[in-house]
Amino acid sequence: MGITLAQAEQAIAAAKAKSTELGLKMNIAVVDAGANLVAFARQDGAWLGSVDISIKKAKTARFFDMNTGDLGQASQPGGSLYNIEHSNGGLITFPGGIPLKDANGEVIGGIGVSGSTVENDHTVAQAGASGIN
Amino acid sequence: MGITLAQAEQAIAAAKAKSTELGLKMNIAVVDAGANLVAFARQDGAWLGSVDISIKKAKTARFFDMNTGDLGQASQPGGSLYNIEHSNGGLITFPGGIPLKDANGEVIGGIGVSGSTVENDHTVAQAGASGIN
Amino acid sequence: MGITLAQAEQAIAAAKAKSTELGLKMNIAVVDAGANLVAFARQDGAWLGSVDISIKKAKTARFFDMNTGDLGQASQPGGSLYNIEHSNGGLITFPGGIPLKDANGEVIGGIGVSGSTVENDHTVAQAGASGIN
Amino acid sequence: MGITLAQAEQAIAAAKAKSTELGLKMNIAVVDAGANLVAFARQDGAWLGSVDISIKKAKTARFFDMNTGDLGQASQPGGSLYNIEHSNGGLITFPGGIPLKDANGEVIGGIGVSGSTVENDHTVAQAGASGIN
């Protein structure tokens, strides 16, 4: 099913380090290739509402193998995927979710981060994705 | 877990007084720091659909420690948090939900009011928040 | 729609007094004749899981105009209403929910109490029902 | 909100160590005093269906401040809490969920473990609970 727990924990550790460096409080979720939760961490004081959002971002990124923010471009009113958020028990389509790939470029899971601006969420998610060896 | 029942009842009493003063009929909900319901009151004749809305407003305000209307600014089409309402089993992001804070500014819960215009909902929620000793 | 907020608050006050007298911590919910929430209170330290249970007890009592414990007699394996709990988004069929009636015996709502043994839950619910003038 | 992320990670590390020692593959979830998720880990190859079960066990343990297996004793057919599982969006009432307490005995959260027999689930949850400093 792709990512191992050890790799997911590397991603979360790297995301936590970046979040702390930026003075933020984040929820961080990692799912595997089957879009099932592998690891999760909520930093002390992070928004409670972002528990679910971070998990949904990670799943959304793996559901469609693209950054959540890219999907959100197409889900706007008039867009080709308008209101796709109604599927799969609720998607989150703003930035902060990124597919995770192995050295061959194959998708092995997804990471989702929520707790600040979407720019910060994406930055921390990228740090997490880059932290996997 | 933050707010006590006695404080929640103060908030509801103050909100009810303001609602009555304005000739309105409101649903008023208070949640604690864990976003769990502490107290609720529906004034006679208030909209039935606003039971759930008032509870969701109170939870949303605590989920993100901000007024629900502020969140709604960012969840519009094209906004950075478009369709965030699909998370957490349903958020309400128009005015009427306010985080409740103690004397040190720490969030101890949230209040949500629904039953009139969003301006009136917000005014009554503010009265409730101010009613806590 | 039956019960007024003033009456619901009488019921909750009477239930709280009985709960305190018995040294308990209860969640107390009152619904109207339409099975919609009118008032709710969670005593400090009461079980979080009983928020939903108390509301479901109040609704269940009004849904079928009988004590929840009576319904539970018939929902056991082999019983005529086996697993009726799957309906209506989830019923609770053990004691603690009681229909509320006016002086003419007409059902005007329901009260649900949860936070202790089912015997205590029922006792406190009865005190609440008896507290309405 | 009770437990910190650092404490939750201690609990998960201790639970993982015990699971590995016993040759098992577990899902491990920790919630805070508000029953909101703080940390989660799924060991490689652990049952996918146990993601949700471990989270529900952790929440159930905090919802009622007791071991999930104790609740399950009372929710059997004919028991006083028959079919309580229909509340709170689904409870899990067999062993593997334990409330987490601080040095003063106050509940600060809950841990839920799922992936093997309920005896093993409970053993690993206990190891997790004992791992908090």
Whether residue C19 is predicted with pLDDT greater than 80 in this model: the reply is: yes
Test D87 with C118 for CB contact under 8 angstroms: no
Tell me if residue A8 falls in helix, strand or coil: helix
**How large a percentage of chain D has pLDDT more than 90?**
98
What tens digit of pLDDT does each residue of B92-123 get? 999 999 999 998 999 999 999 999 999 999 99
Judge whether C96 and C4 are in contact, CB under 8 Å: no
**ipTM attached to this prediction:** 0.96
Decide if pLDDT at A22 tops 80. yes
The nearest alpha carbon in chain B to C3 belongs to: B44
Q: For chain B, say whether C9 makes contact (Cβ under 8 Å).
A: yes
Bridge-partner residues for A100, per DSSP?
Answer: A109
Q: Does B77 touch chain A (CB under 8 A)?
A: yes
Nearest to C48 among B36, B42, B48 (CB): B36
Test C91 with D91 for CB contact under 8 angstroms.
Answer: no
Averaged over C89-93, what is the pLDDT?
97
CB contact under 8 A, B78 and A75: no
Mutate to test the interface with C, among B5, B26, B50, B52 (most CBs of C within 10 A): B5
CA quadruple D24, D25, D27, D30: dihedral sign: positive
All partners of chain B with 3 or more CB pairs under 8 angstroms: A, C, D
Residue B107 · residue B81 · CB < 8 Å? no
pLDDT band of residue B82 (cuts 50, 70, 90) is: very high
Give the closest residue to C21 by CA, choosing from C127, C99, C133, C118: C127
| Nearest Cα residue in chain B from C31 | B42
pLDDT given for residue D133 in this prediction: 83
- The closest CB to that of C49, out of D34, D82, D88, belongs to D88
Residue B20 has pLDDT above 80, yes or no: yes
Q: Is D77 on the interface with C (CB under 8 A)?
A: yes
Contact of D107 with D65, CB cutoff 8 Å: yes
The pLDDT-based confidence of A31 (bands split at 50, 70, 90) is very high
Nearest CA distance, D20 vs chain B (angstrom): 33
Please name each of the domains of chain B with its CATH number: 5-130 (3.30.450.150)
Which pLDDT does position A133 carry in this prediction? Answer: 83
Touching subunits of C (3+ CB pairs, under 8 Å) are B, D
Segment A105-131, tens digit of pLDDT: 999 999 999 999 999 999 999 999 999
Residue-wise pLDDT for A49-62, tens only, equals: 999 999 999 999 99
A79 vs B: CB within 8 A: no
**Per-residue pLDDT tens digits for C40-52:** 999 999 999 999 9
Nearest-Cα residue of chain D relative to residue C25? D64
Distance CA A126, CA A124 (A): 5
Quick one: CA torsion of C77, C79, C81, C85, rounded to 10 degrees? Answer: -30
Touching check for A36 and chain D: CB below 8 Å?
yes
Q: Is the pLDDT of residue B1 over 90?
A: no
Quote the minimal CA–CA distance from D86 to chain C in Å.
Answer: 5
Q: Over pLDDT 70: what percentage of chain C? A: 99
Q: What is the mean pLDDT of residues B61-89?
A: 97
B48 at C interface, C-beta within 8 A:
yes
Chain C residue nearest residue D56, CA to CA: C49
Confidence of residue D20 (pLDDT cuts 50, 70, 90): very high
Which residue from A103, A122, A74 is spatially nearest to A111, judged by alpha carbons?
Answer: A122
Residue C106 — pLDDT band, cuts 50, 70, 90? very high
Separation between Cα atoms, residue A107 and residue A129, nearest integer Å: 12
Query: Does residue D1 have a pLDDT over 90?
Result: no
Distance from CA of C133 to the nearest CA of D (A): 31
CA gap A87, B86 in Å, rounded: 10
The size of the A-D interface in CB pairs under 8 A is 40
Label residue A92 by pLDDT band (50, 70, 90). very high
**Residue pair C75/C93 in contact by the 8 Å Cβ criterion:** yes
C-chain residues near D35 (CB < 8 A): 48-49
Cβ distance of C47 and D35 shorter than 8 Å? no
Amino acid at C118: V
Can you list the positions of beta strands (E) in chain B?
27-32, 37-42, 97-101, 107-114
DSSP C27-92: EEEEEETTS-EEEEEE-TT--TTHHHHHHHHHHHHHHHTS-HHHHHHHSSTTSTTTTGGGSTT---
Longest CA–CA span in chain D (Å) reads: 42
pLDDT above 90 coverage of chain B, percent: 98
Amino acid identity for residue A43 in this structure: Q
Residue B59 tokens, joined:
């939870």
Taking only the tens place, the pLDDT of each residue in D80-101 is: 999 999 999 999 999 999 999 9
In total, the C-beta contacts within 8 angstroms joining chain C to chain D are: 56
Of C6, C39, C48, the CB nearest to B40: C39
- Residue C133: its pLDDT value, please? 83
pLDDT level of residue B133 (50, 70, 90 thresholds): confident
Give the total residue count for chain C. 133
Question: What's the mean pLDDT in D26-37?
Answer: 98
Instruction: Please answer yes or no on whether B39 and C42 come within 8 Å at the CB atom.
Output: yes
Asked if D121 is an interface residue toward chain B (Cβ–Cβ < 8 A), one would say no
